[in-house]
Structure 1
C-alpha cells in the first residue's frame, strides 16, 4: 500500500541518512518512477525532505526531523515487541537500552496497536536455549561485541577440541551470531567461526580493520551451517524402523526418512539415514532398542549385535 511505502521511505531516510532514488527503489522493490511520485507526495504532505543533484546526491530529511511510528499496522507492532529478546540483549550489555526502546515504541503507538502489542507480550515468550543446554559462562562477550562494533582487532587465547587445545589467535571480528543459546563470533582471516564461550583470554588491540566489502553475515552463516551438516553427517546407515521409531525421528534423520523411506509388508519402514560416525550411531540406534534393525554398514551392525549379546548375557545371568 502507498501509505506503508511512504512510511518506509521516511524510516529509511531517518535511519540511513542520504539515499538515492535508485537505492530507495531497490529497498522497496518498486520502480524509480514510483519513488519520484512518493517523494512528491511527501513534499505535498509537508515533510521536510529535499534532494541534492550530482554524483554524491540523493534525498534526505531536514536535520532533527523524526516521524512517530503511527504508520505501523497490527502485525508489525506485534512483531517488533515479540522480537525484543531480553536475554541476548542483556548479554551484550543492551538490556536497559532495549527496555527503554520498547517503552518509547509503546508510547509512540496509537492506543489500539498499543493494546495489541501488550497482548502479544503477555501471550508469547521466547526462550532460545534448549532444555538440556546449561547457561554458558561467556565472560568476554561484551568485549567481543564492542570489538565487532568498533572494528578492532583481538588477540585471544582460544580452547579448541583437538590438540593442542589452547591456542593463540589474532581475530578480526566481523559479526556475532546467537544460535540455540550459544554465541559465535565470525572473524577473519578466513573467515572462521569461533565459540565465544571458549575464549580463555582476550586483549583488544589499537589496530583497526574493515570487513571485506562483499561480506554478508547472514549469508555466510547460512553457508557455514550447510557445510557443518555436510561435515557432521559423513556416513549413512541402512535401517529398518518400526512405526513408533520412525515417528520419533527429528532433524536430518527425519528429512532423510521422508526422502528415502519405503514401507515394507510388515509395516516397518526401510530407509537410508545419515550418521556422524560408527561410534555415535551405535549409541543412537542402541537407544531405540527393538524398534530398529541396522542392515548396514556391516561394522555398525556387528557392533550392535555384540552389544546386544553382552546385554542379554548380563541380564540373563541374574
Structure 2
C-alpha cells in the first residue's frame, strides 16, 4: 500500500540521512520513478523532504526534522514481541538492552495495539535451541564482536573437531551467525569463505589491520555459500539398509542429514528400505545403536565393519569365564 511505503521512506530517511533514490527503490521493490512520486506526496503533506540529482545526490529530510511516527499495524505490533532465539541476545550481552528497547517500543505503540502486543509476549515463545543438545563449551563472543564491528582482522587459535592441537588462522570477519543455538563466525581466509564455531575458538586477538573483505560480499552472501556447502556435501559411500516400521519415524528424524532420498514406503510389511550416504565406511557405525532394528543390506564392507564393531563390544562385556581367560 502507498501509505505503508510512504511511512517506510520517512523512517529510512530519519535513520539513514541521505539515501540514493535507487537504493530506496530496491528496498521497497518499486521503480525509481515511483520513489520520486512518493517524495512529492510526502512534500505535499508537509514533510520537508527534498531530492538532489547527480552522482552524489539522493533524497534527504531537512536537517533537524524529526517526527514521532510508528504507524504500526496490529500484526506488526505482535511481530515485534515474538522474540526468536532469545538466548542470542544474552550471548551478545544485549538482553538488558533488548528489554529496554521493547519497553520504549511498547510506549510508542498506538494505544489500541498495546494489549495485543503484551498478550503476544506472554503467549508465544520461540526457543531456537535443539532438544538434548548436550553440554557445550561456552562461546566467548566479545572479542569476535569487537572485530566484526570495528572492521578489523582477527587472529584465531582454533581447535577443529576430532583434533587435539589448535591451529592459528588470520581471518577477515563478515559477522556472527546463530544457527540452532550454536554461534558461528563467518570470515574469509585468503579470500575464501570459512566457517568457525565460536565454542571451538580457544583465543582471539583483534589486529590493527583493517578487514579485507571481498568487494560486494555481505554476511548474508557468505553465509549462504557456506550453508549450501554444508547441506549439499555429498558422501562418497551409498548405503542401503532396512528399518523396522515401528522405528521408521524416529530413524528418519535422527538421520535426516544422511538420507539420500525419502524412502518409497507403501505402508505394508515389517521392514522399510532406506538409502543413506556417508563419507567413509566407519561413519556408518552411527547405525550400531539401533541394534536389531536396522540392518545394512549393502555394501558388504559396511556390513563387515559393523559386524566387527559389534563383536568387539561383545568381547568387552562378555564375562571372563565365557571367553576362557
* Shorter-chain TM band: 0.7 to 0.9
* Partner residue of 2:271 out of 264, 268, 271: 268
Report what 1:63 is aligned to.
Answer: 63
User: What secondary structure does 1:138 align onto?
Assistant: coil
Moved over 6 A (4+): 309-317
Report what 1:137 is aligned to.
Answer: 138
Q: CA deviation at 1:115?
A: 1.5
Ranges in structure 2 where 5+ consecutive residues have no aligned partner: none
Cα deviation, 1:139-191, whole Å, max 9, x if unaligned, reads: 3x111101101111222322224667212222222211111222111122223
Q: Does 1:208 align with 2:210?
A: yes
Q: Which moved more, 1:84-93 or 1:166-175?
A: 84-93
Q: CA deviation at 1:290?
A: 3.0
Q: Given that residues 69 and 109 in structure 1 are in contact (C-alpha distance below 8 angstroms), is that contact kept between their aligned partners in structure 2? A: no
User: What secondary structure does 2:81 align onto?
Assistant: helix
Q: 1:308 to 1:170 in 2, by over 3 A?
A: closer
* Partner residue of 1:219 out of 218, 221, 230: 221
TM-score, with length taken from structure 2: 0.85
Report what 1:293 is aligned to.
Answer: 295
Q: 1:66 to 1:259 in 2, by over 3 A?
A: farther
Q: Given that residues 13 and 61 in structure 1 are in contact (C-alpha distance below 8 angstroms), is that contact kept between their aligned partners in structure 2? A: yes
Q: Given that residues 173 and 187 in structure 2 are in contact (C-alpha distance below 8 angstroms), is that contact kept between their aligned partners in structure 1? A: yes
User: How many residues are aligned here?
Assistant: 316
Report what 1:22 is aligned to.
Answer: 22
**How well do the aligned residues superpose, as a CA RMSD in angstroms?**
2.9
Distance of 2:185 and 2:305 partners within structure 1: 39
* Partner residue of 1:253 out of 237, 252, 256: 256
Q: How does 1:7-46 map to 2 (within 5 A)?
A: 7-46=7-46
Ranges in structure 1 where 5+ consecutive residues have no aligned partner: none
Q: Which moved more, 1:30-39 or 1:144-153?
A: 30-39
Cα deviation, 1:69-128, whole Å, max 9, x if unaligned, reads: 532222222222223644222322322222221111111111222222211110122322
Cα deviation, 1:30-63, whole Å, max 9, x if unaligned, reads: 1223222211221122122111122111111223
Q: Which moved more, 1:22-31 or 1:269-278?
A: 269-278
